[in-house]
Amino acid sequence: MVAATASTTPAAAAPATTAWALGGSSGVTSDGSNFLGPTNAGAPLIFKTYSSTGSAVSERMRIASNGNVGIGTTAPDSKLHVVTQNTAVKATTTGSTTTSRAVSASATAGTALFGQSKSGLGADLRSTSAAALQATSTNYYGVIASGPSGGVLGTSANYGVIGNGNNVGGYFSGPTGVYGSTAGATAILGANTNVDSGVGVRGTGRIGIHAQASVAGTAQALLAEGGQYSVYGSGGTTAGVRGDSAYVGVWGQGTAWGLYGAATGTSGQNYGVYGTTSSPDGYAMFAQGRVHVNGTLSKSAGSFKIDHPLDPDNKWLSHSFVESPDMMNVYNGTIVTDDAGRATVALPDYFEALNRDPRYQLTVIGDFAQVAVSREVEGNSFDIRSDRGGVKVSWQVTGIRHDSYAEAHPILVEEEKTEADRDAAGSTARRGSSAGDPRAPKGPDAEIPETKAPPTPTLP
């Protein structure tokens, strides 16, 4: 092999037939006319060393005729091809700035850095005080990882994997998008620190999020905390949120409202809250405490049910409500006429403001006598007269409401049934013609994924 050595004038190029000096050569051109290497086509440039007297001269590196460099291989198939039983490439930087890099890889297309192992790790990156791996892409993915056991395995005393993005912190897809398992506190924690927008955890697909607790007792399959709504479900064609359980389907608990239901449809028959039960002894709705209806209450039947006064520990006592086609109020009492056979019955001071068309009923108590209403209601009172003095009279007055709410919302005594009402199981028109109430919400049964968890990732 020949190249140039120093000429008499250092600035002048050495002849092409001059040998390289072991102590170094000068006067070498920078245009590439002086070089070290073979001139016959297809021949590689081979470097050999002699490690000891007990070994032969061995090849350590070669540059193939196509420019590929091979270390430990005689057939390099890339620009740098290293084959060894130990560490193939070791890069260390002693720089103390953020711009110092032990290895820098870039690509205009394809893959900048690729690691593959048949039984070990494709890449093992470690750091004692900073990020072990930083991957940045301007318009695609920072990291693409795939493997039969797991695409990415992150272990840490704090966070195994952290995803942070201006749009999406982490996006996962597949038969199971994200599988979290822990023997400690939280399998998956999604947090959003933007007070104006953003989502802590968002799932899309046939089932967006499937959370499963593998133990009973106080374990939570899904725990959502904070925000304006801890859990917000929207866009569901059947339900925003559905809960199925062997005990309570959906549990609502709050300092102001335990459960809030609103039907936003502006026409047709809809329901803010619909409750049903499959048990003949159950209750479609059960309220423990006071109940107020700010509107008209309609029912098929009504009663009160209290502890039986003669056996309160063992029996109930039920009475049916008194029904009327009018919005009627009832007032009653007893009074004794004076010596002249006269008496004035005082009614509540709101009687005439609340009631119209008063009706009267008088009953004599203790003896036979004649009584009559001598003056009808006026000034929230009426007068009674008996044919003799000292007569005890039981009286009853009814009135029909005519306050502003009653006038604006009169009871329709007779009206046509809707088609849904006709098909309802409780309708006498077609009793039993439908297995369920057609007014009830309809939707397919939820397709719950199989309870078998994905295989546990294989740790290196």
Cα–Cα separations (whole angstroms), residue 106 to 109, 110, 114:
9, 10, 11
Mean pLDDT of 265-276: 88
Per-residue pLDDT tens for 346-390? Answer: 999 999 999 999 999 999 999 999 999 999 999 999 999 999 999
pLDDT of residue 152: 72
Q: Whole-model pTM? A: 0.55
Name the CATH topology of 328-408.
Answer: Immunoglobulin-like (2.60.40)
More confident residue, 180 or 425: 180
d(CA 208, CA 231): 13
Mean pLDDT of 100-111: 78
Q: What band does 64 get if pLDDT is binned at 50, 70 and 90? A: very high
Mean pLDDT of 278-307: 87
Per-residue pLDDT tens for 393-439? Answer: 999 999 999 999 999 989 888 888 877 777 765 555 454 444 566 77
Per-residue pLDDT tens for 24-44? Answer: 888 788 887 888 888 889 899
- CA quadruple 64, 70, 76, 81: dihedral positive or negative? negative
Lowest mean pLDDT among 26-40, 76-90, 119-133: 119-133
Beta strands in 164-217 (DSSP E): none
d(CA 277, CA 285): 8
Q: Domain locations in the chain? A: 45-82, 328-408
Beta strands in 274-389 (DSSP E): 303-307, 316-320, 328-336, 342-346, 355-365, 371-375, 381-386
